[in-house]
Amino acid sequence: MKYHRVLLKLSGEFMSGNGFGIQPEATKALAQEIKKAHDLGVQIAIVVGGGNFWRGAKQGVGMDRASADYIGMLGTIMNALALQDALEFVGVPTRVQTALTIQQVAEPYIRRRALRHLEKGRIVIFGGGTGNPYVTTDSGAALRALEINAEVALYAKNKVDGVYEADPLKNPTAKKYDVLSYMEVLNLGLEVMDKTAISLCMDNAMPIVVFDMFSDGALERIIRGEHVGTLIHV
């Protein structure tokens, strides 16, 4: 295997089947894909978004930004608990750690405890973002990847198999990039993730792979060392 510890960033839409809330069948399908990779022996940590419940830029219009962001953090925790349930249903030991303290349902985020879980073969799901408003889950994923000493940050997409010059679902002729530098992403204004996440990875030489989660065995293939999706690095 090329990678032995990875951070997987998932959007909330994976939990809903591109709808609203949590759809059990969509969540189970996601858990099966993650299980296949986990069975290779790789250590996996996950950051999940909350867009299937709440998008502050839309639902939070007219609200205090910090309040809207905290609501979004709660949505990510709901997704983390649902994904934990689905993973454990297929036999994968899992722990949820949250940046907001909700001890009745999850552990508080403690870096050393997270590392210990990973070493014991448990998947660790980080909910609640970073616990701070004005910070996206994209940036939270980059931060957690660095904190746990992941070898790569994997940003999963749905129906899009990498980084394109324009939205390929709207523009079928858009060019796909196989490899990009961090600066190219920033200079070209590619909206693959927020600029803070890119800058954080660039400053710490954390490679990023953007890929289609449900493309035939994509997650397993990346971990084995195959080129899948778009690689962003120095």
Q: What is the pLDDT of residue 169?
A: 86
Q: Binding site residues for UMP, as ranges? A: 50, 69, 130-137
Q: Where are the domains of the chain?
A: 5-233
Encode pLDDT of 184-195 as tens digits. 999 999 989 999
Residue of 202, 181, 224 whose CA lies nearest to 39: 224
CATH of domain 5-233: 3.40.1160.10
* Residue 233 confidence (pLDDT): 97
Tell me the mean pLDDT in the region 140-152: 98
**Distance, CA of 113 to CA of 41 (rounded, Å):** 19
Question: Quick check: 3 and 41 in contact, CB under 8 A?
Answer: no
Instruction: List the binding residues.
Output: 9-12, 50-51, 55, 69, 130-137, 158, 164, 167
Query: Confidence band (pLDDT; 50, 70, 90) for 59?
Result: confident
Task: Pull the structure tokens for residue 4.
Answer: 């032995």
Per-residue confidence at 139, pLDDT binned at 50, 70, 90? very high
Closest CA to 211 of 220, 219, 202: 219
Average pLDDT, stretch 29-54?
96
- CA-atom Rg of the chain in angstroms: 17
191-222 pLDDT, tens digit each: 899 999 999 999 999 999 999 999 889 999 99
Helices (H), the chain: 13-16, 24-38, 56-59, 65-89, 111-119, 137-147, 182-188, 195-203, 218-224
pLDDT band at 18 (very low <50, low <70, confident <90, very high): confident
**pLDDT for res 62:** 86
Question: What's residue 55's pLDDT?
Answer: 81
The three-class DSSP label of residue 78 is: helix
Residues of each annotated binding site for ATP: 9-12, 51, 55, 158, 164, 167
**Edge-first strand listing for the sheet containing 208-212:** 107-108, 94-98, 123-127, 43-48, 5-10, 152-157, 208-212, 230-233, 179-181
Supply 66's token pair. 């910090």
Q: Averaged over 112-133, what is the pLDDT?
A: 97
Share of the chain above pLDDT 70, in %: 100
Within 13 Å, how many C-alpha atoms sit on residue 232's CB side? 29
Contacts of 230 (CB under 8 A, 6+ apart): 162, 163, 176, 177, 178, 179, 180, 192, 209, 210, 211
- Strand 230-233 versus strand 179-181 pairing type: parallel
Residue 61: the pLDDT is 82
How do residues 67-108 score in pLDDT, each as one tens digit? 999 999 999 999 999 999 999 999 999 999 999 999 999 999
Residue 128 Ramachandran class (φ > 0 left, ψ -120 to 50 alpha, else beta) = left
